[in-house]
Structure formats: structure tokens, C-alpha cells
Amino acid sequence: MRDYSLSKMFFDLQQPALAAEFKANRDSVLARYSLSPEVRTAIRENNVPFLAERTNAYLLRYYFFATGMKDAEFIRRIRGG
Amino acid sequence: MASFAGAFASSHGPLLVREWDSIPQDEKLRLEKAFRELGRRVTAARPDVLVAVSPDHWANFSLDNYPAVCIGVGETSEGPPEPWMKAYPHRQIAAHPDLAFHLLNESLKEGFEPSMSHRLKLDHGTCIPLWRMELAKMPAIVPMLVNSIEPPMPSLARCLAWGKLLRKAIESYPGDLRVGILATGGLSHSIGEKTMGAIHADFDRETIRLFGASEPELVRYLEKQLPSRGNGSEEVRNWLVAHGAAGGRGFELVDYLPVPTVIVGCGFASWR
């Protein structure tokens, strides 16, 4: 399953300027995308398995890399740890 | 008329840049040697143009429009947009629009329907091999982006057929050019999945062996294995394009080594 808006936001966050804005004011960026309350919560809580079911794996990994999550932590979380 | 200068393949992966200094010395030396040997073979083939067959890692395409195949027909391509590729020395990469349009037109005549772009960004998938091969002279690069990132993807048989078509189209180009193919990606790796980090060296070695066997056997094996060998393994499609262009003859393996630090089964090959 693909959540278009979530995937679009992850795609857009590859732009350094938007990534910097996201880091400074996440809610302001989130407000520009048509995200369900569940997806917004999953982003705020770094719920990797929930988001993994809704977007491309490469985009998911880019997002968490760009927001500073180490690969080991990403792997632990995606495996439900 | 143009001539076919050869086909080459190389793995890529972000950690070949980001974690380069963390790779154990013996593996790093082998990687350096393999990249340089591949570069030596490319140089010896004297290509004026390389058709770079690579996936688009979301540098150009989004869910708004993700083509199965896209050929870059612009005068130039942009260098890699990834922040960690800033040190890559080429920010504008010369292309060959006349050849690219010829490939596009010949494809359409044969019932293949790629999309086209007048301005592509070449991400790490294309640029890491070009960088690490340390080519003294950069050929013009005609990008051919094949979707191996977002399902559904072109069939494996279609990728082989693409290679055969490319060869025919290259050899019908009315210009004095030597044109090679550089396929990038693979072999096994897993990105952003539960299995992230897994390398299936047994799968990689069998895939390498089967490139020397019959095409149906190779395709059957890959169709069965790819769903369980990590999403990065899907990039073997690009190797199939090169294989088809080289006439299905087996390649000479430059080197293969699984490198856990970069989480990729790294393969390097040139076709006979």
C-alpha cells in the first residue's frame, strides 16, 4: 500500500531547504501535506513499522537517515524492537 | 556507423561513499582494485559515449510519475543531488542528445515505449561507479533509467530485450561513435526493509554463474529468487540490459565480494 501524501513528503524532504525547515518546525511542514492523524502520529513517534507499510523502502530509509536516525536504530525499529 | 564498444557492470551504494573510510582495509583494497580494473577496461574500449543504465533512487521521479524506463535526451545531465555526493567532481555531465534521440526513436519503432527527459539528475547509482573507476577521460553519458525501485517493475525478459534493442540501435546510428553500456546496481542488498543489511552471497554467486548459462535459465532463477533476496537485488535488471546488449555471452568477472560495511554484495564485470 502506498500513502501518496506521505511518500510525496518524504520525496520532497530530499531538498535540503525543506529538510532544514522540517528540522526546525516539523508541524509547519506536516501541515502542508494531506496526512491522516494516524500517519502524523507515526511520524511524531518515529513509528518505523507503521510507516514502512505505507511508503517505498528507499524513501523510508532516506527520511530516517535525513532526520538523524542511525541505521542500527532504524533496523531495530523496523523489526519491531 | 557507430560501433558497440562493450558492456560493463558495477555495483553502487551510498555507503561506498559515506562509510568508505570504515571499510576494512583488505576489502577496501579489493574494491579499489576492482573499480580501477573496470575503469581500465572501459578506457581500453575507447567509448565516446556510455549509455549508463541505472535506477532512479527518487532523484527525478516520485509517485506523481515513475516511468518504467526513461532515456535522457538533454545536452547535459545534472550531477548527483545527494548532499553526501557533494565531493563528486562533475556537477554538469555532458550527454549526447543526437544518439539519445536515435535510441529513443529506434525504441519506439520497435514497440518499446520509454519516457524521455531533457534534464535528469544522475544520482549516486550512476555517479559512484563513474567516480570510483577514476576514468582519465569521461565519455559522454546517455542516461537510461530503469525502474528497479518502485513496484511494479519491467520484467526481466523485457530488460534483456531492451539490451538487444540498444545494441541494434547503437549499431544503426549514422555517426562515427564508439558506444558502450555501463550497468550499475546489485548484487544482493536490502534497503529500508526488515532485512536491511542482509547480503546473500550464495544468490550473488549463483547469479554470476548463470550469466554464463542460458538466458531462460538465468531469468527463471532470478524470477524465483529476487522476491526473497532484498529489494536492492532488483537492480540486476540493469545487468540484464547489458547482457542483452552484449549478445547474451557470459561476462568476465572482475571481482565479487560481499561487503557488510556497505551492506552490498559488490560485483564488477565486463562482457566478452
Tens of pLDDT, residues A28-78: 999 999 999 999 999 999 999 999 999 999 999 999 999 999 999 999 999
Residue A81 has pLDDT above 90, yes or no: no
CATH tag for B3-271 (out of 3.20.20.150, 3.40.50.300, 3.40.830.10, 3.50.50.60):
3.40.830.10
* Closest CA in chain B for residue A76: B194
Q: How far is A26 from chain B (nearest CA, A)?
A: 20
Sheet architecture: strand order including B178-184: B115-117, B69-72, B140-146, B49-54, B178-184, B3-10, B264-271, B251-259
* Closest CA in chain A for residue B197: A75
d(CA B23, CA B16): 9
User: What ranges in chain B are assigned the alpha helix state H?
Assistant: 15-18, 25-45, 97-109, 124-132, 156-171, 201-210, 215-225, 236-245
d(CA A13, CA A5): 12
Non-local (6+) Cβ contacts of B126 within 8 A are B12, B52, B54, B80, B141, B143, B182, B184
Instruction: Single out the residue of B216, B250, B195, B259 nearest to residue B9, CA to CA.
Output: B250
User: What ranges in B47-154 are assigned the alpha helix state H?
Assistant: 97-109, 124-132
φ/ψ of residue B43, rounded to 5: -60, -40
d(CA B262, CA B16): 6
Name the B residues in 43-72 with CB < 8 Å from any A CB. Answer: 57-59, 62-64
From chain A, pick out residues whose CB is under 8 angstroms from the CB of B81: 14
For chain A, the domains span 4-78
B188-198 per-residue burial string, b: 16 or more CB within 10 A, e: under 16: bbbbbbebbeb
State the cell numbers at B262.
556497505
- Return the DSSP state at B169: H
For position B183, what pLDDT does the model report?
98
Instruction: Find cell 535488471 and name the residue.
Output: B237
d(CA B177, CA B185): 26
Here the ipTM equals: 0.95
Q: Is residue B128 within 8 Å of residue B16, measured between CB atoms?
A: yes
d(CA B164, CA B242): 9
For position B248, what pLDDT does the model report?
82
For position B121, what pLDDT does the model report?
98
Contact B58 A58 (CB under 8 A): yes
Interface A:B, Cβ pairs < 8 A: 50
The rounded mean pLDDT for chain A is: 96
Q: Looking at the partner chain, which of A4, A14, A75 has a beta carbon nearest the beta carbon of B58? A: A14
B231 touches A at CB < 8 Å? yes
Contact B63 A4 (CB under 8 A): yes
For testing contact with chain A, the best of B189, B193, B195 (most A CBs within 10 A): B193
d(CA B214, CA B41): 25
Q: Is residue B259 within 8 Å of residue B31, measured between CB atoms?
A: yes
Q: Is residue B90 within 8 Å of residue B220, measured between CB atoms?
A: no
Contact A4 B83 (CB under 8 A): no
Instruction: Single out the residue of B124, B140, B129 nearest to residue B39, CA to CA.
Output: B129
Contact B149 A7 (CB under 8 A): no
Q: Looking at the partner chain, which of B63, B81, B193 has a beta carbon nearest the beta carbon of A57? A: B193
For position B49, what pLDDT does the model report?
98
d(CA B231, CA B247): 27
Contact A75 B196 (CB under 8 A): yes
Q: Looking at the partner chain, which of A2, A16, A78 has a beta carbon nearest the beta carbon of B83? A: A16
Q: Is the peptide bond preceding residue B55 cis, with omega within 30 degrees of 0?
A: no
For position A1, what pLDDT does the model report?
87
- Please identify every stretch of chain B with a pLDDT value under 50, giving residue numbers as ranges: none
pTM: 0.97
* Closest CA in chain B for residue A58: B192
Q: What is the number of other CB atoms lying within 10 angstroms of the CB of residue B36?
A: 15
For position B272, what pLDDT does the model report?
76
Non-local (6+) Cβ contacts of B10 within 8 A are B35, B38, B129, B132, B133, B182, B183, B184, B267, B268
A19, containing H or E segment: helix A16-24
* Closest CA in chain B for residue A14: B82
For position B32, what pLDDT does the model report?
98
| N-to-C CA span, chain A | 23
Task: Map residue B78 onto helix, strand or coil.
Answer: strand
From chain B, pick out residues whose CB is under 8 angstroms from the CB of A62: 58, 192
pLDDT tens digit string along B118-164?
999 999 999 999 999 999 999 999 999 999 999 999 999 999 999 99
